[in-house]
Structure 1
C-alpha cells in the first residue's frame, strides 16, 4: 500500500486501485475538514475518525 500523488486518489493495495474506497476516504476527509474549520469538531477527534476509517477501508481491501 502506498499513496501516490496527493490525497487518497492513488491508494494502491495489492496492485489494484480501489476508486470507491478512495472516494469514501476523500469525502470523509472533506467533511471532517469543514467541521474542523467551522469549530464543530476537535482535531484529535477528527484524527481518530480518519484513522478508524482508513483502518476499516484497508481491512476491506485486504479481504477482496
Structure 2
C-alpha cells in the first residue's frame, strides 16, 4: 500500500503543539481545562495537519 498517507493522530498534534494527548482530546471535544489560547493553537494545528475524528475508534471507546 505504498503511496497511502498515514492518518494524523491526536498524538501527532500533541507532539506538534508541545502538549499532552489528553489536552488535545479536551480541546477537540470542547472539554474544560484548556485555555482558549491553547485550544485555538490545537484546533489550528489539527486543521493544518488534516486531522479528522476516527468515528470507528471513537465508537469503540463508548
Structure with more of its chain in strand, by fraction: 1
Q: TM-score, normalised by structure 1?
A: 0.34
Identify the structure with bigger relative contact order (alpha carbons < 8 Å, sequence gap 6+): 2
Structure with more of its chain in helix, by fraction: 1
